[in-house]
Amino acid sequence: MVTYKDAGVDVGLADAFVERLRTIAPDIGGFGGLFPLGNQYLVAGTDGVGTKLKIATEMGQHDSIGIDLVAMSVNDIATTGAKPLFFLDYFSTSRLDPNVAEAVVQGIAVGCSEAGCVLLGGETAEMPDFYQDGDYDLCGFAVGIVDKDALIDKSSVSQGDVLVGIASSGFHSNGYSLIRSVLRSQNIDLDSRPFETVDVTVGELLLNPTRIYSQQLLEWNERYSIKSAAHITGGGIEGNVPRAIPEGLHARVRARSWAVPEHFNWLRRVGDIPETEMRRTFNIGMGLVLVMPGDDAEAFVRNEEGWIIGDVVSGEGGVQWI
């Protein structure tokens, strides 16, 4: 049995660190930072893609990791109802390989196109005594804009509201230290097939890019009453849905209300990962969760791609699985 902490990532320690930072920056903790500008807000977010980069390097495939980079930031700011305006990247490496860097930036450009924003610029840094040969790291920065009266926040969420889950495209860009630990411990080759029902290799499955929701979320917000939204990244449903719900309320999630994709079940089996660990590390098939009134939620799942996965109830406690 293996956990994320066993793989070297202590989510509890990271959460405690964020709480310490609130003494310096009290407003941190949301999916995007708000900066007032007249009757609008600029919304900013930053993120990376973690050790998914190791898979890209081992596979020698760098053309989709840039999509992940864009997705991680634009999806965060889109939860506020913001339209992404522009994106910047930071690419740091041991020694610059122009072919690798070009493939990465091409992926970033594709991600920006999908998100409806402009790739404004970036920075490239060579640090040969800092990274191992062939290694590189990425960070991205997204800025969007939203009218103040169109801002999606959690202030109007109330008891009885409904949780609507939107499918992920795979593992997205979280939990890869645990995934790689399982691959090592079980001697699973990236060129092997994970299970008989798919015609892709383990490496191809793991490099499937993160789904970008920003354009769809803008459209949905015009047609439905979306009270709040959570981008399901590090910490899974348990760590992110509570960020979209005000104090005094908590989420009740029906664990069997959607079919968990087989690649998550495969990882759980081969890695002997407890169900509780899967829920607090991976998105397990839900990349975005919307909070809506019941009538809007019913209309949404009739007309769009989504599942009613739970509701909002009174009391503290984060996420209650039923």
CATH number of domain containing 134: 3.30.1330.10
Residues 168 and 183 in one domain: yes
Asked which of 97, 126, 150 is the last residue of a domain, the reply is 150
Measured in whole angstroms, how far is the alpha carbon of residue 184 from the centre of its chain?
A: 24
Provide the pLDDT for residue 26. 53
Counted domains in the chain: 2
Residues 175 and 43 in one domain: no
Instruction: Please state the pTM of the whole predicted model.
Output: 0.91
Provide the pLDDT for residue 195. 84
Listed as ranges, residues in the chain with pLDDT below 70 are 1-2, 4-29
Asked which of 83, 115, 150 is the last residue of a domain, the reply is 150
Provide the pLDDT for residue 151. 96
**Angle formed at CA 17 by CA 12 and CA 23, multiple of 5 degrees:** 140
**Tokens, residue 60:** 């020698």
- Which candidate, 234, 249, 227, 229, places its Cα nearest to that of 319? 249
* Domain around 104: 31-150
Residues 118 and 176 in one domain: no
CB 285 within 8 A of CB 237: no
Provide the pLDDT for residue 3. 72
Calculated CA dihedral for residues 252, 258, 259, 263, nearest 10 degrees: -60
Provide the pLDDT for residue 27. 59
Residues 56 and 145 in one domain: yes
Residue 38 to residue 164: CA distance in whole angstroms = 32
Provide the pLDDT for residue 23. 55
CATH number of domain containing 293: 3.90.650.10
Residue 13 covered by a domain = no
Q: Which residues lie closer than 8 Å to 122 by C-beta, 6 or more apart?
A: 88, 89, 90, 91, 105, 108
